[in-house]
Amino acid sequence: MTGITYREAGVDLDAAAPIKNALISIVGQTHGPTVLPNSGFFAGGIDNPDDSETLIVASTDSVGTKVRIAVAAGKFRALGKDIVNHCVNDILTMGAKPLFFLDYIGIDSADEKRILEVAEGLRDACNEANCSIIGGETAFLPGVYSNGDFDLVGFIVGTVRKDELLTPKETIRQGDVLLGLPSSGMHTNGASLIRQAFNIDENPDVLNERPGGLHGTLGEALLVPHRSYLDAIMPVMSDIRGMSHITGGGFQENLPRVLPDGLAVRLDRSSWEVPALFNVIQAAGRVDEAEMFRVFNMGVGMILICAPERAPSVLAATDGAWKLGSVVSQSKTSGNSVVIE
């Protein structure tokens, strides 16, 4: 299949990789002994100056160009839930619970509908996560944003006891089991490719169409909020060695972040059915399957890694989870870190 790629849609993951590595090196020059070495984590940690037994954990992200889909649909509340839940999930991978959240909205004008709908989504998701919004910033930047565009960024802070911190690169072993948790949809990744696949910027009416396999319109399917895994995972956290939040970069970039050197994962493609939304996206853009797995979560929003003897109890306690694959020696995967077969 020859179709569009993420690079052609304006997001070059290969070009971004060395930039990210350079940024990690630069910011690392600010770290003192109280900073947790960021090895495979989806968030950062630092000692709590008032409690030697805990770490303060933080993460920041944006909803990216999903705002363009929301603008085309004229619906914005889901975006607030998107960014909160994305950030909650990132600190959750360290075993941390959220404490407080801040937001940043950069926008072209004082548009009440967009701003307040986003704020309502932020409120709803933070209430669900028992996380207070203690501040934020709304900046009116007409020279930067135009035609209804805006940007939404979130910043979250949480805490975790040091003896409960997940350290996957130290604890994951060959033979460990991977458990998948279903996503709620596209979450907050791949919107640039989606917009090009459906030509949404030029033809926003396409969002009102009802492609086969979907239960509603395309717009409704694309704007389902990013799922929070907080309530599902916290009860089994002590049985988990690590977890991978499947966001930008899909399986190929996010799973290796938590693997010790010399280990890889083998995923059983037959263990789950890819949701119809991703098949619709793939067909519209004639996207190669390998590219789909690199860009999207493909129905797997979070992956838990646990010892084989712990897997049955985690499966029983985690609604919707299934056995997705296993940790193997990299020598058995021809040097690849992630093999899907």
**51 and 160 both lie in a single domain:** yes
**159 and 173 both lie in a single domain:** no
Q: For residues 257 and 264, is the Cβ–Cβ distance under 8 A?
A: no
**194 and 103 both lie in a single domain:** no
**96 and 242 both lie in a single domain:** no
Q: From 319, 176, 321, select the one nearest 240 (Cα to Cα).
A: 176
Backbone angles phi, psi at 112, to 5 degrees: -60, -45
Inter-CA distances, 243 with 70, 226, 319, Å: 30, 17, 16
In a domain, 31, yes or no: no
**241 and 325 both lie in a single domain:** yes
pLDDT of residue 37: 79
**127 and 268 both lie in a single domain:** no
**241 and 294 both lie in a single domain:** yes
Count of residues in the chain:
341
Q: From 60, 24, 65, select the one nearest 42 (Cα to Cα).
A: 60
Question: Which among 124, 142, 165 is the end of a domain?
Answer: 165
**141 and 217 both lie in a single domain:** no
pLDDT of residue 2: 61
What CATH number is given to the structural domain containing 191? 3.90.650.10
Q: Write out the two tokens for 4.
A: 């569009």
- Give the Cα separation of 193 and 232 in Å (integer): 30
In a domain, 226, yes or no: yes
Q: For residues 155 and 58, is the Cβ–Cβ distance under 8 A?
A: yes
| Total number of domains constituting the chain | 2
Helix (H) or strand (E) holding 92, with range, is helix 77-92
Q: For residues 224 and 184, is the Cβ–Cβ distance under 8 A?
A: yes
What is the domain range of residue 285? Answer: 169-340
pLDDT of residue 121: 98
Q: Write out the two tokens for 268.
A: 């059983």
In a domain, 11, yes or no: no
pLDDT of residue 25: 77
- Per-10-residue mean pLDDT of the chain, 341 residues long, equals 70 72 76 76 88 95 96 97 98 97 96 95 98 96 89 97 95 97 96 96 96 94 98 97 94 94 96 97 95 95 98 97 97 91 90
pLDDT of residue 64: 93
pLDDT of residue 325: 97
In a domain, 225, yes or no: yes
pLDDT of residue 3: 78
Buried b (16+ CB within 10 A) or exposed e, 105-115: bbbbeeeeebb
DSSP one-letter string for 164-228: G---HHHH--TT-EEEEEE-SSSTTS-HHHHHHHHTTTT-GGGGG---TT-SS-HHHHHTSPPPP
pLDDT of residue 124: 98
**265 and 227 both lie in a single domain:** yes
Q: From 154, 182, 174, select the one nearest 67 (Cα to Cα).
A: 154
Question: Which among 129, 150, 165 is the end of a domain?
Answer: 165
Whether the model clears a pTM of 0.85, i.e. scores above it, the answer is: yes
pLDDT of residue 70: 97
Helix (H) or strand (E) holding 114, with range, is helix 112-128
In a domain, 35, yes or no: no
In a domain, 29, yes or no: no
- Give the Cα separation of 80 and 76 in Å (integer): 7
pLDDT of residue 40: 60
Residue 244 forms beta bridges with which residues? Answer: 303
- Give the Cα separation of 329 and 3 in Å (integer): 34
**CB count, 10 Å around CB of 51?**
12
In a domain, 123, yes or no: yes
Buried b (16+ CB within 10 A) or exposed e, 227-265: bbbbebbeebbebbbbbbbbbbbbbbbbbbbbbbeebbb
pLDDT of residue 32: 78
Question: Which among 165, 192, 217 is the end of a domain?
Answer: 165
Query: Can you state the angle between helices 191-198 and 66-73, rounded to 10 degrees?
Result: 50
**227 and 145 both lie in a single domain:** no
**199 and 161 both lie in a single domain:** no
**104 and 65 both lie in a single domain:** yes
What CATH number is given to the structural domain containing 132? 3.30.1330.10
In a domain, 112, yes or no: yes
Identify the three-state secondary structure at position 304.
strand
